[in-house]
């Protein structure tokens, strides 16, 4: 499943995005960071609506990391409230567009009302044909540690048993990882899953990232030659 690279280089089945740059987008315009986050949600909304014609089976989005709790209390509150609003406003569109929601990370330790909303959304979208996986309270090192501990509990720690216990174990192998805003690092995101993924770092700040830019990235991916350690 999640640890075996796809051999069909011409078609990306699973793309992940580190959605970076909301704060800088707002700062450039003299606006509060909260406005940048709001515009970032709009970019997510447009991207999700475009999935049907993209050929993707799964889109994974880094929404809130386990390190993001270090931000100011006001900013964290803004992000949590945006999450509440997004679930309420867009759940029916997920259902209508046959999009399955999946959450990765330690999301069940979020506020009880958010957990309840997410559980409801997961149930109502479970039959979707495209998957949007959202990383909430997520850190890849923590995910790998949890998976290794589960593998050890059954007495067999190896690559396959760790992969089988990752949060992404039911998703296609990761083909392409994109980071916006010009930063060139993974920031504790999908470290295991990225072992053979192609990577693309773009200067565009996340609120300005469009479905057309994703399509360009998919075209770029289709031209790459993937060797998976071979020649």
3-class state of residue 117 by DSSP: helix
3-class state of residue 196 by DSSP: coil
20 is catalytic: yes
Structure tokens at 27: 């700062």
CA–CA separation, 112 vs 195, rounded Å?
A: 34
Structure tokens at 122: 């997961």
68 is catalytic: yes
| Residue from 3, 20, 78, 90 carrying the catalytic annotation | 20
Place of tokens 């959605």: 19
| Residue from 57, 68, 106, 208 carrying the catalytic annotation | 68
Kind of pairing between the strands at 58-65 and 14-18: parallel
Kind of pairing between the strands at 130-138 and 99-104: parallel
| Active site residues per annotation | 20, 68
């Amino acid at each position: 499943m999640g640890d075996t690279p796809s051999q069909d280089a011409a078609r990306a089945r699973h793309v992940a995005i580190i959605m970076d740059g909301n704060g800088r987008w707002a700062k450039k315009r003299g606006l509060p960071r909260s406005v940048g986050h709001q515009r970032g949600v709009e970019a997510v909304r447009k991207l999700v609506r475009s999935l049907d014609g993209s050929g993707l089976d799964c889109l994974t989005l880094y929404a809130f990391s386990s390190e993001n709790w270090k931000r100011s209390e006001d900013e964290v509150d803004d992000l949590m409230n945006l999450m509440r609003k997004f679930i309420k406003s867009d759940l029916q569109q997920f259902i209508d567009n046959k999009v399955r929601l999946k959450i990765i990370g330690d999301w069940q330790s979020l506020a009880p009302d958010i957990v309840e909303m997410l559980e409801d959304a997961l149930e109502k979208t479970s039959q979707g044909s495209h998957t949007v996986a959202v990383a909430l309270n997520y850190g890849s090192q923590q995910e790998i540690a949890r998976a290794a501990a589960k593998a050890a509990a059954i007495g067999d720690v190896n690559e396959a048993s760790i992969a089988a216990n990752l949060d992404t174990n039911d998703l296609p192998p990761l083909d392409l990882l994109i980071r916006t805003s010009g930063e060139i690092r993974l920031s504790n995101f999908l470290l295991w899953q990225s072992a053979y993924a192609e990577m693309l770092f773009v200067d565009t700040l996340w609120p300005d990232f469009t479905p057309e830019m994703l399509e360009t990235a998919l075209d770029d991916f289709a031209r790459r030659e993937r060797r998976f350690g071979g020649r």
